[in-house]
Amino acid sequence: MSKTTPLGNLPYPQPTDLADIPVHLQSLAEAVDGRTVLRFADAATRDARVTSPVAGMVAWLDNPGRLFHYAAGHWAQVTPAPVLRANYDGGSTVSTTYTETLSDALGDPMATAFTAPVSGKVIVTVGAYMFATAAAGAPGIPVCYMAANIRQGTTVTLAAADERAASAGGPTRASATTQFLVTGLTPGGAYTATPCYRASAATTTANYDNRFVRVDPA
C-alpha cells in the first residue's frame, strides 16, 4: 500500500507494492494536479473544470489576465487591485440631505463596482474640489459635504454620513478628501460605492468638481 509524504500528502509506493509504474505515476500526478498553478481561459472554464475547489488552490485566468486563489468559499485575486472612478464634470446641489446626482453634471450617479475581498473589508476614499455660493451656519461649519453610499445589489449596507464625509467651508475653493473603513462585507460579494453630496443649508449652493471615488481592499 502506498504511503504519503508528511507535508503534502503525496503518495509514493512501497517495496511491497505491485511494480505498476503507470499506476504509481498516475496517483502522484493526480495528487499534484490540484496543487499546481492551474491555467484556464476564463472563470467559466475554470468553474466547469474545478467543480469542488478547496482552500489554497491557485488558478491563472487568461481573461482578465490575473492570478486567483480559492479562500473563504470563493475565488479571489491573489493581489486585489483598487478600483478608481473619476468625474471631471462639475455640478451643484442645494439639497440638505445626501443626493447621488448633482445638477448640471454628466455621469451621475458615479456607482463604482467592486468585489469584496477575502477580509470582508475595504477602504473607501472620496474627494472633490468644493466651494459654496455663500457661507452658511456658524463660523467653521462646513457648507459642502461629500460622502458615499455602499450597496450590495439595491440594498444600502452603509449609508452616507457626515462623520464619513469630506467637507469644505464657504466661497473659498478647496480640495477636500476623506477615507473610511467598511467592514462586514461578504467575501466575493458584488458591491458599489456611490458618491453623494449635500449642502449644510438650502439657502446656499454647494459646488463640486474633479470628483473621484476609490475602493482599496483592506
Instruction: Estimate to the nearest angstrom the gap between the alpha carbon of 145 and the chain centroid.
Output: 23
Q: Which residue has the higher pLDDT, 196 or 118?
A: 196
Amino acid identity for residue 159 in this structure: A
What are the pLDDT digits (tens) for 103-114? 999 999 999 999
Q: In sequence order, which residues have a C-beta less than 8 Å from that of residue 29 and are 6 or more positions away?
A: none
The answer on pLDDT for 197 being more than 60 is yes
Angle at 105 between CA 201 and CA 192, to 5 degrees: 90
The domain 83-217: what is its CATH number?
Answer: 2.60.120
Cell of 206: 454647494
Q: Say if residues 76 and 118 touch (Cβ distance below 8 Å).
A: yes
SS3 (DSSP) at 152 = strand
Q: How confident is the model at residue 139 (pLDDT cuts 50, 70, 90)?
A: low
The DSSP symbol for 71 reads E
**What is the C-alpha to C-alpha distance for residues 145 and 161, in angstroms, rounded to an integer?**
9
Q: Cell match 493581489: residue?
A: 79
**pLDDT number for residue 118:** 87
Place of cell 473619476: 86
pLDDT at 8 over 60: yes
DSSP 3-state assignment of 198?
strand
CB neighbourhood size of 137 (10 A)? 13
Query: pLDDT, tens digit, for every residue of 148-186?
Result: 999 999 999 999 999 999 999 888 889 999 999 999 999
In 55-160, beta strands by DSSP E: 58-61, 66-71, 74-77, 83-87, 91-93, 112-115, 122-132, 144-152, 155-158
Domain ranges of the chain: 3-77, 83-217
What CA–CA distance (Å, rounded) separates 23 from 12? 11
For 113-122, the pLDDT digits (tens) are: 999 988 999 9
Judge whether residue 138 has pLDDT over 70.
no
Q: What is the pLDDT of residues 43-77, one digit of tens each?
A: 999 999 999 999 989 999 999 888 999 988 889 88
